[in-house]
Amino acid sequence: MARSISWEAEEYVVRDKTSWWYVGLVAVGLLLSALAIWLQAWTFLAVIVLSIVALIIYTLRPPRIMRYTLTDSGLTEGEKTYSYEDYKSFGILHEGDNFAIVLTPRKRFAGRVTVYFPEIQGEEIVDAFGMRLPMEEVKLDLLDKLIKFLRI
């Protein structure tokens, strides 16, 4: 790859949530809190309250627009660089109108990196990754399916 490829995209997909989603979240939080109080599990109660508050803050925060650059050495996301050598393959996820490259790490317990990209640059971006890494089918793992189901 002789030149770099740059694009901007949101850091994650925003899934619509109705007011009933928030009501359900608070209801589950209250039920779990009642269970923690009944069991006198005060640490569990603190974890529940902090988790619900953090989840509400996270879901209300709009995604940042990230700047990505693909070069000969790897992928740069803002100030962070992901080297090709740290990944064994890549795949493509397509969800609605959103497209993403998913980098699968070589290290067993390292997390996958998901990078969204505009459809108009998709072929160029996929070809650039294909020159460096083998392409494999990407399937959602259990955590990804749960996050999608919960609309987080």
Partnered with residue 74 across adjacent β-strands are 83
Q: Are residues 78 and 138 in the same domain?
A: yes
What is the arithmetic mean of pLDDT over 92-115? 89
Rounded mean pLDDT of the chain? 91
Percent of the chain past pLDDT 70, that is, above it, reads 99
Q: Are residues 51 and 112 in the same domain?
A: no
Q: Are residues 83 and 140 in the same domain?
A: yes
Range of the domain at 117: 5-11+65-149
**How wide is the angle at C-alpha 74 spanned by C-alphas 63 and 111, nearest 5°?**
55
In tens, the pLDDT along 78-95 reads: 889 999 999 999 999 988
Structural domain total, the chain = 2
What is the arithmetic mean of pLDDT over 140-148? 83
Q: Are residues 25 and 92 in the same domain?
A: no
Q: Are residues 33 and 79 in the same domain?
A: no
Q: Are residues 28 and 78 in the same domain?
A: no
Q: Are residues 43 and 112 in the same domain?
A: no
Q: Are residues 51 and 81 in the same domain?
A: no
**The pLDDT of residue 7:** 95
CA distance linking residue 49 with residue 30, whole number of Å: 9
**The CATH number of the domain where 98 resides is what?**
2.30.29
**Whether residue 122 has pLDDT greater than 70:** yes
Q: Are residues 85 and 114 in the same domain?
A: yes
Q: Are residues 116 and 49 in the same domain?
A: no
**The pLDDT of residue 101:** 94
- Read off the pLDDT band of 70 (50, 70, 90): very high
Tell me which of 147 and 46 has the higher pLDDT.
46
